[in-house]
Amino acid sequence: MHPSLWERCFWLLGLLLALSVESAGDVPPTQQPKCTDFQNASLLRGTSLKVQFLLFTPSNPSCGKLVEESSDIQNSGFNATLGTKLIIHGFRALGTKPSWIEKFIGALLRSADANVIAVDWVYGSTGIYFSAVENVIKLGLEISRFLSKLLVLGVSESSIHIIGVSLGAHVGGMVGHFYKGRLGWITGLDPAGPEYTRASLEERLDAGDALFVEAIHTDTDNLGIRIPVGHVDYFVNGGQDQPGCPTFIHAGYSYLICDHMRAVHLYISALENSCPLMAFPCTSYKAFLAGHCLDCFNPFLLSCPRIGMVEQGGVKIEPLPKEVRVYLQTTSRAPYCVHHSFVEFYLQEPRNKDTSIVITFLSSNVTSSVKITIPLWNLLQREPEKCDLQENGWSTNRTMTSVHTEMHNCQQWQVL
């Protein structure tokens, strides 16, 4: 009995399916790299540390590779001849991944040929702030043990750069303390203030924790520490209220966190933009605003430090005195930078009344004016403003003003 037409079609279809399955089995599927993301915790389970070390490399900047043992590190693309940068986040009240971490990692990898390792301790930083503080020493020990594995692979202590955010800055200080200050560089981004302002040097970030320690202060009147903690401490806009951040509690979460997190966004912007965030050594922010500190002087060897990579800032790492306070002003949004210039006007004749001078700065898209009033008894006056100024001419009678406005690339100025 001959098979029917339907039977023949069914048999042929089965044969084709079998051949296609067999052919597919001959070619292994494309192996996608296994990437690991940050953990998520909750208020009920945020007590244990559960630390993850996630490696990001220039060849694969968006894929975090979980590295725990030395074998993981060796097989992950880690390059022991490059510098190594560790990012340590701070307190995570809701147990979520830091919203800024991916942008930060990308900026680091684009600005420097380095290994970037993100330290995920979301579990240990979730819930109550004081519980997270209790985990700082434990986390410092875990990071120190991890670094010891890198040193075995040939990484030098001086090539390690720790970047700690808020509470993470003090974790970095703890790690540096365990290594007796031999690590290369620690950056504290608005180091946490609560529980640390009166802490001992062994408990918080300080200048003895690395060959070079810097801190960027943006919220000293609330969540950030108000005292200097490094060789160089940047007090941005005086270290307190940042332009563009809400000033009313009705703004909710943004009111609480905006100033504190500005340090992170400033650092990212400094890595991504060529516009320099330059700061000036000064005795106080008031003196800086009065125009008394616009010249750079030692210990910076006629160079003022810049936020970002120290290689770009012209700062000599050694020797540096401790706790040098530097000040700068910024705008409310990226790239945040302003340029500082010095304008002088000298009054050469006595007067019988106060003198007012209005200076207008003109650029391609912005016009800004500042009025300077010189009291009767003064022949010299300093006033703050901001601008990237190009001199175009002077009046015969002059007084002195420190100029730093939000305008960039000013084309000319004139006295009215």
Q: Active-site residue among 120, 125, 190, 206?
A: 190
> Would you tell me how many other CB atoms lie within 10 Å of the CB of residue 175?
27
Gyration radius of the chain's alpha carbons:
28
Distance in angstroms (rounded) separating the CA atoms of residues 218 and 101: 19
β-bridge mates for residue 370, sequence order: 359
Q: Are 175 and 162 in contact (CB under 8 A)?
A: yes
Angle, CA 321 vertex, CA 260 and CA 268 arms, to 5°: 30
Would residue 177 show up in a list of annotated catalytic residues for this protein?
no
CA dihedral 404, 405, 411, 412 (to 10 degrees): -70
Q: Which residues contact 215 (CB under 8 A, 6 or more apart)?
A: 169, 187, 188, 189, 190, 191, 205, 225, 228, 229, 230, 232, 233, 234
Give the Å distances, CA to CA, from 380 to 341, 346, 351, 377, 387: 17, 6, 13, 9, 21
- 88-114 burial code (b ≥16 CB/10 A, e <16): bbbbbbebebbebbbebbbbbbebbeb
Q: Active-site residue among 170, 217, 260, 340?
A: 260
β-bridge mates for residue 246, sequence order: none
Distance in angstroms (rounded) separating the CA atoms of residues 398 and 416: 13
Distance in angstroms (rounded) separating the CA atoms of residues 192 and 268: 19
Tokens representing 187 are 């950056």
Would residue 404 show up in a list of annotated catalytic residues for this protein?
no
Distance in angstroms (rounded) separating the CA atoms of residues 51 and 58: 23
Distance in angstroms (rounded) separating the CA atoms of residues 89 and 192: 11
Q: Which of 41, 150, 60 is nearest to 98 (CA)?
A: 41
Would residue 364 show up in a list of annotated catalytic residues for this protein?
no
β-bridge mates for residue 343, sequence order: 401
Q: Active-site residue among 125, 159, 166, 368?
A: 166
Phi-psi region of 254 (alpha: psi -120 to 50; beta: other; left: phi over 0): alpha
Residue type, 92: R
Q: Tell me which residues are annotated as active site.
A: 166, 190, 260
